[in-house]
Amino acid sequence: MNPCLPYNMTEKPTRTALVTGAAQGLGRAIALRLAKDGMHVAVNDIAPKLDNLNSLSEEIRAMGMKSSVHTADISKEEEVRAMIEGVVETHGGLDVMIANAGIAICNGFLETTVEEWDRIFSINARGTFLCYKHAGNQMVKQGRGGRIIGASSIYGKSGNGGPGYSAYAGTKFAIRGITQAAAGELGKHRITVNAYAPGLIESAMSAQADKNMMEKYNFKPGQFLETYRALAPVGYEGKPEDIAALVSYLVSEEAHFVTGQTISINGGIFCD
């Protein structure tokens, strides 16, 4: 105990977080927010996005926090295992796992191929499961609790939100179930497991969704985005920083009683 601290207060070691899919969009915003909150942050994405990861890691270090870069394909168990081991070797442990990485494939239900189905499930559903599993094992081994967060979606709350995203919706519903199951098993270890379910967020993925709707369903440029804004009670889409703020709370000590939840954050367009 530090004798300079008031009675009954102890210094707590700085926590380490790992954020997957951190090269852009939500993952990048979450990584920066956790660093701002005073955490060391390890960042992950696939190898072609290494330059973006290095830039992000430098930005985190400039904030006075430690950071490391870990390229891995989260759909492959050996790569996820090696990623977790690398984070622990570099930072001495893992306290917060943000399983953010995922992809979207736009195709009608009847036109979706088995190859497309398998690819999106391997990354979104299996990838989330593997991150939960190996991060959970590490946190249990450490014996000091932890926070695990996954990325669902408004499509994980309502599967008929629009054409072209049936396979994507399936993966995001799966993440809700995985989150609930993991929360049930890990709670006794003081590990909470939750997920965020965003609506339309201003990002490269939303821009791509608008483009997909133009190409496949003859939408006009910007029509998909404008339709969402018109339906949302607040009248606008969210920003990556809005999701990062929710994650900031979910990984905090104050959120110790929140687990097994997939929290909607969508401007009111869908209410649980």
Report pTM: 0.92
Residue 247 has pLDDT above 80, yes or no: yes
Going by pLDDT thresholds of 50, 70 and 90, the confidence category of residue 12 is confident
Find all residues with CB under 8 Å of 229, minimum gap 6, and list them.
200, 235, 236, 237
Say how many C-beta atoms besides its own lie within 10 A of residue 55's C-beta.
13
Catalytic residue among 172, 216, 228, 249, which? 172
For residues 56 and 100, give the distance between their C-alpha atoms in angstroms, rounded to a whole number. Answer: 16
Amino acid at 80: V
Q: Domain residues of the chain, as ranges? A: 16-199+238-264, 202-235
Say how many C-beta atoms besides its own lie within 10 A of residue 187's C-beta.
13
249 is catalytic: no
pLDDT for position 99: 98
Tell me how far the alpha carbon of residue 67 is from its chain's centroid. 18
Q: What is the pLDDT of residues 14-71, one digit of tens each?
A: 999 999 999 999 999 999 999 999 999 999 999 999 999 999 999 999 999 999 999 9
155 is catalytic: no
**Which residue is associated with the tokens 């660093």?**
35
For residues 146 and 189, give the distance between their C-alpha atoms in angstroms, rounded to a whole number. Answer: 8
Catalytic residue among 168, 217, 239, 249, which? 168
- Concatenating the DSSP letter of every residue in 101-156 gives ------B-TTT--HHHHHHHIIIIIIHHHHHHHHHHHHHHHHTS-EEEEEE--GGG
Q: CATH number for the 16-199+238-264 domain, one of 3.40.605.10, 3.90.1640.10, 3.40.640.10, 3.40.50.720? A: 3.40.50.720
